[in-house]
Structure 1
Amino acid sequence: MTSVRNHRPPLSGNKWFFLFAILLSAACSPKVRTVPVVKKPVEKPADKPKAADKPVLKPIEAKTTVVSLILPLMLDNVRNGYSSADLKKANMSVEYYQGFKLALDSLANQGANFKLQVYDGKDGAAIHSLVANPQLKGSDLIFGPVFPEDLRPFLATFNYSRKPIVSPLSPASPALFNNQNLVTITPPLEYHAKGAATYITAKLKPKKVFILNSGFSDEKLYTSPFKRTIDSLSKHKIQVVPFTVVRGNLTPLVAKLSSQEQNIFLVPSTKQAFLMVTLRSLDTLSRKYPVTLFGHPNWEKFAFLKAGLLQRLNTHITSSDKVDYKSAETNTFIRNYRRAYHTEPTDFAIKGFDEGFYFGQLLAREDDSFRRPEQNLYKGLHNSFVLEKRPGLGWINTHVDILRYQNFDLKLVQ
């Protein structure tokens, strides 16, 4: 699983305009321009409120909330031209910013008031200088820096603040930072493993689960939490069978397979050569034995994995950014985004909108809800936010979806 997906088209003229707009308004963007509301947070079912009850979101006139974004806009390159890598970072930043601002616009339409500050976290030196910036210090909530290599020194230096700092896009493990104020909004790989293990234990209830390893040690980042979760939830009643596959040879497992019940396989690898050989062997095996396969969340991005093969293997993967483009909420967002920016929204724009709306509606309340995000659930366009507070690690979004290949497409099953 990668921090961010960089395969984006070049900046359009419209996006170049917004880069300059951000540059001109880098200090602040008070009470953002309003647009129709396009998404509301999911609240738990409740009794009809009485007249004296406090509403979830009360229009606020006096309170102004300061929100800061630290994004790699790479504005120094505007005159001299962008390299390919820097252009991807700038694209990502503008797309995220536009989605985020659209969310604040929607909340401003309900009476909330925000001062949006945007900073160019173009490199380590720029990020280091931001720590002493009094305007940044005065923020109620900070989003960024985006990349783990920038976030780590920022958190280490900005340790005097007790305000939440949101890691907006990276799924890096919070153990890398050890900061109790960090909000990891993109679920780390560990929670994908836990999600798959929980689904297998609760829904499929197998007697055995086979883990097909390639032998690379990095797969333990997935398999270790997967096995711990299976063992814990099943109380060791489900046998986890690790097996290192050599040249696609699965023959040693045949004696352990069932010809009547589903045989559950986990393949944690992301290596193309290994996957091509192993999945072909598993496909051959599936002609005699029922097979259900669970794969790495990055599989969705691999063009070399064909949907027909994955469908025959009854393949499931976890996801933290699956957008339902047929839903009414998504289509409402797309229409409003087109109206505001005259371009199509990307995944980064959708994530920016979800995060801006979720935290914006918490900031707009009269209490300090934004300091207790674990008490507030949210169903977004790309993922749900179910945050867990971990001592010394901050808040972590634990929610992942379970998807399965059906009709040559990935469908939500949980």
Structure 2
Amino acid sequence: MKAFIYLLLFFTTIFWSVFGQNDSVKNKSVEIVFINGKTYYIHIVSQNETLEQIALAYEVSERDLLLVNRELVMGVHAGQAIKIPVLEGERTGLQVDSFIYHKVKKRQTLYFISKKYKVDIAEIIEYNPAVRDGLSVGDVLKIPRAIETDNVLKNENGLEYIYHIVRKNESLYSIAKQYDVDIEEIQKINKGLIWDVSLGQKIKIPKIVDKLKVNRDTFAESLIYTDENKFNAEYPCKEYTYDNEQFKIAVLLPFQTDRNTIIDTSKLEKGDIKFYKNTARIIEFYEGILLAVDTLRRMGLKIELNVYDTKKSEKTLREILNSEGFSETDLIIGPAYTSNLKIAAEFAKLHEINIVSPFSRSSSLLRFNPWLFQARPNKEVGYENLAQYVAIYYDQNILVYHNGMKNELDETKIFRRKLVDAVSFNKGIETVNYKEIDCSDRNAAGIEATLSVDNDNIIFVPTKNEAFVTELISKLNPLTEKYKILLFGLPEWSGFKNIEQEMFHKFQVHIFDYNYIDYSRYDVKNFVSKFREIYKNEPGNLAFQGYDIARYFLDNLEKSGAQFHNCIPKNPLFPRIKGLGLDIDFQRKDKSGGFLNYAAFILQYTKDYEFVKINTNFRKTYFYQKEWEKEEKKEHNNTKKSDKNTDDETDEGDWTKDW
């Protein structure tokens, strides 16, 4: 029987979680009564009203209602009269629009609430002293309204101003200082205002600048992200035991369901079906995720997997992120495109959700976002590993052959810096036998003149140009009988089509890469067998990576809970996690940012016609230590330069070209 609806197999789980609830309450009371010296509203319950709706309507917590109406533990019913405690601010005549009343939801923290309403944590605690002991779901917090610097108005004299609502303990002097204006200027546009201001009073503030807003954002940012040890000091890895709870996982990928139709898998297996752009690769990656989810479910982990089609639309992504319940997600995998990833990463940071970037090579988003994980190592990591390996030959003849093009000169500069640092650190010397050669117009004799008979010739060619590599190898080939040559190249070389593989093995070509699959491994064989059984197809690299990424994070959720980022080992001797194709070694990119995968490989074409991974783990020595010894200012400058020069290569249209 032909197997139809191939895409339907995957897309039946792609959905929008949109739930609604009517929070309106009929006949809300406005009359205040006094009972035993305390102030209450008396509310008469209408048909179908719930305790939650009543609490929200009066901006109090359900706990507050239960404390003064003990009979509510038996439930509410139509016609019932219940007492509603009047908030302190209302009793003192404080204007209602001076505050926002926020009901605490699952996973929300004081930091999240302070960022949401743009107020300091200290102010929230001032008006809600009970939160010093922690937040509880359902608590209603009284949040002082942030001062809006965007709503600039004009008065009758053409002067710009906004309204400021006076808060507790504020004086005219403190308000003037806060806005960096003179007291006289405030008095001038507020007729009758001399010195005294009262709680809740609305006054005009002239000549508004953005200084206050900047200071507030800076303060909120510094609450967590400026102390290098904040997460391990104040938020240590807590002891956690999985107790049969369900974790909510969101997968955000561009399936392009609006551009792909129902597929006949018999045609798919023959190669007659073409998906829209990168959809086939996305499906392959997703298939790997599904196998990991299935594995963990069979091991007893409860998983709610929600899959969303982001298309290539920022609007679609924002609608997904803002859908009801999405902020309660425990882990986000995706999105694929850089523009969408930036939006999702900011959302995850605001809501304190761990998020995984599966494809991007740019590390710029990791800075100041401790919830972001970048699964693919950036180019700096690859060059670091390559330089560490080449540093072994520091006393030999190390050469860099390039064609004089700007991009290759940039690559050469990065390698030179990494190599000098590596030799200096490992060998304690400041010099290395190293030369850079422009081979764009050199003939065979000119290239031979750069080689050494007495030493090994370690040649690195930082180019993706297959024609240049082909010509260079043809010039070097006759020289192998006289000179010992080891050739090093870029990951793209493994995809060259017009160079005989025999030449790579003859020169024992070494490349650095981030993905390697050893098909002789037992677990790899099992994966391939399972993949064939379920999907009737051969797994590609992205299938292995989807499995490795999902398996790693699901394992961590089970082991350490939703706050597993606090439990990532910082010990440089801790071994990397060996996946089926992608090794994982997450460390913070800088002292206050997210996690970068530092696991890269050195791969070699051997004379025995094998393509093997060389077992190295340079983070245990040089790389790990150097990353954490950098000063904050130097790290910031280097990050900006490296991101600009080497990281931001993920094109919106070809993010999978190197995978």
TM-score range, shorter chain: 0.7 to 0.9
Q: Distance in 2 between matches of 1:352 and 1:386?
A: 16
Q: Deviations over 1:209-240 (max 9, x none)?
A: 21111222223553333222211121233233
2:400 is matched by which residue type in structure 1? I
Provide closer, same or farther for how the CA distance between residues 155 and 255 of structure 1 changes in structure 2, counting only shifts above 3 A: same
CA apart distance, 1:26? 5.8
Q: Name 2:352's counterpart in structure 1.
A: 162
Displacement of 1:142 in angstroms is 0.9
The equivalent residue for 1:108 is: 297
- The aligned counterpart of 2:482 is 288
In structure 2, how many angstroms separate the alpha carbons of the residues matched to 1:247 and 1:87? 43
Partner of 2:11: 20
Query: 1:70 maps to what in 2?
Result: 252
Contact 2:528 2:539 in 1 (8 A): yes
Aligned equivalent of 1:353: 547
Query: Distance between the aligned counterparts of 1:118 and 1:197, measured in 2?
Result: 40
Could you say if the C-alpha distance between residues 272 and 151 of structure 1 is closer, same or farther in structure 2, counting changes exceeding 3 Å? same
Superposed, 1:47-196 pairs within 5 Å as 60-61=243-244, 63-79=245-261, 87-124=276-313, 125-156=315-346, 159-170=349-360, 172-175=361-364, 178=367, 180=369, 181-196=371-386
Paired with 1:176 and 1:273, the residues of 2 have a C-alpha distance of 35
Question: Secondary structure of 1:317's match?
Answer: strand
Contact 1:141–1:165 at 8 Å: present in 2 too?
Answer: yes
> Which of residues 401, 404, 407 is equivalent to 2:601?
401
Alignment gaps of 5+ in structure 2: 19-238, 264-272, 425-429, 616-659
Root-mean-square deviation (Å): 2.8
Change in Cα spacing, 1:254 to 1:89, as seen in structure 2 (3 Å) is closer
Query: Which deviates more, 290-299 or 389-398?
Result: 389-398
Closer/same/farther in 2, CA of residues 133 and 243 from structure 1, 3 Å limit? farther
1:60, 1:88 → 2: CA distance? 43
Point out which structure has higher relative CO (alpha carbons under 8 A, 6+ apart): 1
Contact 2:260 2:275 in 1 (8 A): no
Maintained 8 Å contact 1:187/1:320: yes
Distance of 1:340 and 1:58 partners within structure 2: 33
Task: Quote the Cα distance in structure 1 between the aligned partners of 2:443 and 2:530.
Answer: 53
What's the counterpart of residue 279 of structure 1? 473
Distance 1:135 1:305 in 2: 53
2: CA distance between counterparts of 1:316 and 1:126?
Answer: 43
Show structure 1 runs of 5+ residues with no match.
1-11, 29-55
**What residue identity is the alignment partner of 1:369?**
F
In structure 1, distance between residues paired with 2:491 and 2:602: 10
1:45 maps to none
Compute the displacement of 1:151 (Å): 1.8
- Report the alpha carbon displacement of residue 318 of structure 1 after superposing the two structures with TM: 1.3
Q: In the alignment, residue 376 of structure 2 is paired with which amino acid? A: T
Q: TM-score of the superposition, structure 1-length normalised?
A: 0.80
Inter-CA distance 86–159: structure 2 relative to 1 (3 Å threshold): farther
CA–CA distance in structure 2, aligned partners of residues 57 and 409 of structure 1: 45
Q: In the alignment, what sits opposite 1:268?
A: 462
8 Å contact from structure 2 (residues 396, 455) kept in 1: no
Partner of 2:400: 211
Higher gyration radius (CA) = 2
Partner of 1:244: 438
* Identity rate, percent: 23
Question: Following the alignment from structure 1 to structure 2, what is the Cα–Cα distance between the partners of residues 396 and 220?
Answer: 26
CA contact (8 A) 2:241 2:559 kept: yes
> Quick one: structure 1 residues 146 and 58, their matched pair in 2 at CA, closer, same or farther if it must change by over 3 Å?
same
Give yes or no for contact 1:211–1:242 (8 Å, CA) kept in 2: yes
Task: Say if 1:265 and 1:291, in contact at 8 Å, map to a contact too.
Answer: yes
Specify the alignment match of 1:363 in structure 2. Answer: 557
Cα offset for 1:409? Answer: 3.7
Matches of 2:262 and 2:553, distance apart in 1: 36
Q: Which amino acid aligns with 1:321?
A: N
User: 1:327 maps to what in 2?
Assistant: 521
Secondary structure in 1 aligned to 2:413? helix
Instruction: Kindly provide the amino acid, as one letter, of the partner of residue 129 in structure 1.
Output: E
Specify the alignment match of 1:411 in structure 2. 612
Alignment match of 1:382 (pick from 562, 581, 592): 581
Take 2:288 and 2:529, find their aligned partners in 1: how far apart are those partners? 12
Give the C-alpha shift of residue 153 in structure 1: 4.1
Q: Out of 400, 419, 434, which is 1:230 matched to?
A: 419
SS of match in other structure, 1:77: coil
Q: How many residues align?
A: 370
8 Å Cα contact 1:18-1:94 kept in structure 2: no
